[in-house]
Amino acid sequence: MRIVSGIQPTGNLHLGNYLGAIRNWVAMQDEWTAKGATCLYFLADLHAISMPHKPEELAANTREMVAALVSCGIDPDRSILFNQAQVPQHAELQWLLNGTARMGWLNRMTQWKDKAGKNREGASVALFTYPVLQAADVLLYNATHVPVGEDQKQHLELARDIAQKFNNDFCPEDAPLFIQPEPIIPPEAARIMSLREGTAKMSKSDPSDMSRINLTDDADTIMAKVKKAKTDPEPLPSEKAGLEGRAEAANLVGIYAVMAGTSVEVVLGQFGGQGFGAFKPALGDLLVEKLSPMAARYRELREDHAALDAILAKGAEKARALAVPTLDAAYKALGL
Ligand code: ADP
Ligand code: NA
């Protein structure tokens, strides 16, 4: 069994990134490697150039994301952690698969339609062929399982179609080259809202630093941000229904629940009837307790470029060892 999953490199990581994305990767690694599977996790830096980007930011974000992933529990000895750009087989296989993918298939991709919008003529060719690179990302490693959210289901279907057509067109019936990977539906990701406005997503692009808990924040900063978080004057309800229409309260209780590994109901059972004067210090303490060890590692590792580059170099070497035989076979099947 082999799991392949990619993530866009991003910097200035915050609690939303941790609870909405990174934590799931760590959980998947722990669950699947225990079953004997190999997890390949890559930074999708080749995908990042399909949209306007700043080269120096891309390089910095790739390193930052690796620092965050490792600090939060991705183990580069157990998982294969790398960036696409250091494994040229991704781009090479994409080109080979461009011969199999059909224009009509790509034209039907809803993400292409959404992202290109009305300006199709101005969109990059990479944005259009992005799903073919995604197919290469997983087929290169004979992935058996690929975690996909709702918005990525169509792209995995496409990867399966490409695999099947390539096998049909170019491989003997009893020796197909590509495996059609199965989707795994990741556990529903928490959606964390801004501390300043319960209806806005917590985001690095929010100009107010008080709106988010950064993964670099120290204990005092976390405490101060939680205490200043926007709330309402009512005490917490004892039932979940009482959080309706109270976006800020719901967000803070939700954060408490995921950080404590429990449910909103249990948190309200404990804090229902109490005001934020009691709840906020408890939430702050919990965040400090859970985030501090990761934050300390992250602050140190993000500065250690040599260590990060070494992690990526080692990951890329392991990835290339798996990728080369597949790519060689694909060239051969095509008569190249
Ligand atoms: P930002 O919104 O800060 O720019 P990105 O868009 O770079 O974050 O997201 C990187 C990953 O983190 C994505 O998988 C995204 O779904 C997740 N993520 C970002 N913000 C949140 C949030 N507030 N709650 C849950 N997940 C989030
Ligand atoms: Na964003």
DSSP codes of every residue in 206-262:
-S-GGGS-BTT--HHHHHHHHHHS---SSPPPSSGGGGTT-HHHHHHHHHHHHHHTS
For a pocket test of ligand 1, which of 17, 62, 205 has the largest count of ligand atoms closer than 8 A to its C-beta?
A: 17
Which residue's CA lies nearest to atom 7 of ligand 1? Answer: 10
The confidence score (pLDDT) of residue 327 equals: 98
Contact 191, 223 (CB under 8 A): no
- Predicted confidence (pLDDT) per residue in 284-314, tens digit: 999 999 999 999 999 999 999 999 999 999 9
Return the SS3 of 299: helix
**pLDDT exceeds 80 at position 97:** yes
Q: Is 115 a catalytic residue?
A: yes
Return the percentage of the chain with pLDDT > 90, whole number.
Answer: 96
Given pLDDT bands bounded at 50, 70 and 90, which one contains residue 203? very high
Query: Is residue 10 lining ligand 1, measured as CB closer than 6 Å?
Result: yes
Q: Which domains does the chain have, with CATH numbers?
A: 2-190+305-333 (3.40.50.620), 217-301 (1.10.240.10)
Q: Is 201 a catalytic residue?
A: yes
Decide: residue 201, CB within 10 A, 0-12 exposed, 13-18 middle, 19+ buried: middle
**pLDDT exceeds 80 at position 6:** yes
Which residues, including other chains, have CB under 8 Å from residue 290's CB and lie 6 or more apart?
Answer: 259
CA of residue 33 to ligand 2 center, whole Å? 30
CA of residue 37 to ligand 2 center, whole Å? 31
- Predicted confidence (pLDDT) per residue in 128-187, tens digit: 999 999 999 999 999 999 999 888 999 999 999 999 999 999 999 999 999 999 999 887
The confidence score (pLDDT) of residue 278 equals: 97
Query: Is residue 16 lining ligand 1, measured as CB closer than 6 Å?
Result: yes
Query: Is residue 20 lining ligand 1, measured as CB closer than 6 Å?
Result: yes
Block residue for tokens 């910097």: 11
The confidence score (pLDDT) of residue 305 equals: 97
The confidence score (pLDDT) of residue 151 equals: 84
Dig out the tokens for 122 from the structure: 């101005």
Query: Is residue 284 lining ligand 1, measured as CB closer than 6 Å?
Result: no
Dig out the tokens for 282 from the structure: 């408890």
Q: Could you tell me the CA-to-CA distances from 285 to 27, 119, 145, 197, 262 in Å, in that order?
A: 23, 48, 38, 22, 16
Given pLDDT bands bounded at 50, 70 and 90, which one contains residue 82? very high
The confidence score (pLDDT) of residue 62 equals: 97
Q: Is 165 a catalytic residue?
A: no
* Angle of CA points 149, 213, 57, to nearest 5°: 70
Average predicted confidence (pLDDT) for the chain: 96
Which residue's CA lies nearest to atom 14 of ligand 1? Answer: 21
Contact 194, 187 (CB under 8 A): no
Given pLDDT bands bounded at 50, 70 and 90, which one contains residue 189? confident
CA of residue 64 to ligand 1 center, whole Å? 14
The confidence score (pLDDT) of residue 114 equals: 94
Q: What is the pTM of this model?
A: 0.93
Q: Which helix H or strand E contains 153, and what residues bound it? A: helix 153-170
Which residue's CA lies nearest to atom 10 of ligand 1? Answer: 17
CA of residue 85 to ligand 1 center, whole Å? 22
Give the ligand with the smallest distance to the CA of 21.
1
